[in-house]
Chains A and B, each alone.
Chain A
Amino acid sequence: MTAIVRLENVAAEVGGRRLLSDVDLRVDAGEFVALLGPNGAGKSTLIRMLLGLHPVAAGRITVLDRLPAQARQDVGYLPQRRRFDPDLRVRASDLVRLGLDGNHWGFPLPFKRNRTAAERVSEVIELVAATAFADRPIGELSGGEQQRILIAQALVRRPQLLLLDEPLDSLDLPTQSSIAALLSDICTNQEVSIVMVAHDVNPIMSYLDRIAYLASGKAVVGTPAEVITGPTLSALYGTPIEVLHAADGSLVVVGQPEPPAVHSDRHHSDGHHHEYDRDPRRPHSH
């Protein structure tokens, strides 16, 4: 069985600073893997390396047995983003369509309709349960609706791998769980592997096959039950950390040290800077 994604002794650098070293990770077909860790740990950088948009400082990355930049055709990507401008008057379905043929030169001829393309667009919109609002302007949609459209856009070219950067960011809890369920559904039914950056593991916990937890320049990879434990995280951070099981089944990590505040790996192209910390797993550090 060939690996969809293979990382061997990979190191990541941003602006000459080493963020991560010796990362080993293997993602197989149809697997759902989460990248966790504090701000600035290198999660988004790793995603960009998987897309071939960021150089690999050391080690080797292959995506679908190719160099990452050569595999982009078969990879769907959902960047960490701002929401669309509320006044952006472009239909949601047009956005999905751009995911299919937006890189073709020229412009669509008005008298020549491409039936297969149109069918694929409506098919994928139906898959993410977005048919009801697909013809409304993207800016008018709610955060969860926009996220469904963007997932459809990432899926429209039938990729074998989806790279999602915080797709649950700034959504309310019920929406988070419905999007998580949708992703898991895509994973199993469409035979698509998903690598997803997450800030909070709880909404996706039950669907995950594996977790790569990045912190202090290292990564720990394993099943959720192996990684989210006191001893593993304590060893990773080098300070005592406890994982508590709350009554509703969610996990609370206690004693996690503050992430290094000087650096953020978030891309600045989206024009948004989250200076504050929204990590719900870190209610009281003492």
Chain B
Amino acid sequence: MIAAISLLHLISQPFLRNALIAGIAISLLAGLVGYFVVLRAQVFAADALSHAAFTGTLAALAAGVEPRFGLFAATIGVGIAIGLLGNHGRADDVVIGIAFAWVLGLGVLFISLYATGRGAGNGTASTATLFGSIFGLSSGQAQFAAGSAFVLILLLLGIARPLLFASIDEAVAAARDIPVRFLGVVFLGVVGATAAEATQAVGALLLLGLIAAPAGAALLITDRPFVGLAVSGGLATGSTVLGLLVSAQIPRVPPSFAIIAIATAAYMFTWLATTWCRRRG
């Protein structure tokens, strides 16, 4: 009873309300996108996009532009670029790895430019970009994040079925007149936009947790693809809501850590449970 009252009290606070509005929409998007990312074995590409998110934000800050502009421009641009180059350079993890270390290196340069420009070296902006600052969202920022996430979810659901076909069975899908390559590019653009969305919630570095963990768990739970898609979205949303409430209740736990820890725990629990079930028959 007391817990329920304090919960109500918590939610009435604007910082948590904004965080919930943005967090629910963003994590639903990340969970849905993540299912396809894991199915298509593109976790490495998603990782790369999180690096681009970091560098894009700081480049915009260093240039004195609205950071969200740099964020979305960098992630969607890099996502589409990977999609266009992907067919040729896919196997070469070495090039991708070195190039993305360089992207991060550039990001560090922008931190220092930004810090010298402001005369402040405490790196708050970079920490917020890397690890998120969802409790710091204004109501306008939260509404923008939720609205854009909603549009992206609609776009993803619109291409869900042919994308699934192309992910599992590329050659046959191409012979069925599915624009496999085009879908791949659009999808990586959506992954890029998702990275930008998630950067506002859990931060660029923790994006993988919201993309990989719920999807990994969903793929263990069910082998029906569209059920799995729903489970993945649900797990991501659940982790975020729970994580935000825990963090609001225990201020010593930062929200991004709470969200990622819960998503990781859900994945581990699923893994243990499914392994145990399979052992027993």
Q: Which residues of A contact B (CB under 8 A)?
A: 51, 53, 72, 75, 77-79, 81, 84, 88-91, 94-95, 98-99, 101-108, 110, 137-138, 150, 153-154, 267, 269-270
Interface residues of B in 109-164 (CB under 8 A from A): 157-162, 164
Indicate if B244 sits at the interface (CB-CB under 8 A).
no
Cβ contact within 8 Å between B174 and A53: yes
CA distance A69 to B170 in the complex (A): 17
Cβ contact within 8 Å between A89 and B158: no
Indicate if B165 sits at the interface (CB-CB under 8 A).
yes
State the Cβ distance, A137 to closest chain B Cβ, in Å.
Answer: 5
State the Cβ distance, B181 to closest chain A Cβ, in Å.
Answer: 11
Cβ contact within 8 Å between A108 and B226: yes
| Complex interface: stretch among B217-225, B235-243, B262-270 | B217-225
Q: For residue B230, which residue of chain A has the nearest CB?
A: A110
Q: For residue B87, which residue of chain A has the nearest CB?
A: A269
Cβ contact within 8 Å between B157 and A81: no
Which of B169, B177, B225 sits near A72, CB closer than 8 Å?
A: B177
Cβ contact within 8 Å between B219 and A95: no
Interface residues of B in 154-200 (CB under 8 A from A): 157-162, 164-165, 168-178
State the Cβ distance, B170 to closest chain A Cβ, in Å.
Answer: 7
State the Cβ distance, B74 to closest chain A Cβ, in Å.
Answer: 29
Of residues B175, B219, B222, B224, which shows the largest number of chain A Cβ atoms within 10 Å of its Cβ? B175
Which of A90, A107, A269, A270 sits near B161, CB closer than 8 Å?
A: A107
Cβ contact within 8 Å between B226 and A107: yes
Indicate if B228 sits at the interface (CB-CB under 8 A).
yes
Q: For residue A52, which residue of chain B has the nearest CB?
A: B175
16 contacts between A and B (CB under 8 A): A75-B175, A78-B172, A79-B171, A89-B220, A90-B39, A90-B168, A102-B164, A103-B176, A104-B161, A106-B160, A107-B160, A108-B161, A108-B226, A150-B172, A153-B169, A153-B172
Cβ contact within 8 Å between B157 and A106: yes
Q: For residue B171, which residue of chain A has the nearest CB?
A: A79
Cβ contact within 8 Å between B162 and A89: no
Chain A residues within an 8 Å CB radius of B174: 53
Cβ contact within 8 Å between B162 and A104: yes
Taking A94-B224, A137-B223 as known contacts, 9 extra A-B pairs with beta carbons closer than 8 A to each other, sorted by chain A number, are A77-B171, A79-B171, A89-B222, A94-B223, A95-B168, A102-B164, A105-B158, A153-B169, A154-B172
Sort A-B residue pairs by CB-CB distance and give the 10 closest, nearest first: A102-B165, A79-B171, A107-B160, A77-B175, A98-B165, A89-B223, A137-B223, A89-B219, A103-B178, A91-B223
State the Cβ distance, B38 to closest chain A Cβ, in Å.
Answer: 10
CA distance A134 to B170 in the complex (A): 21
Cβ contact within 8 Å between A105 and B172: no
Cβ contact within 8 Å between B172 and A103: no
Known: A94-B225, A107-B160, A108-B161. A72 touches B171 (CB 8 A): no
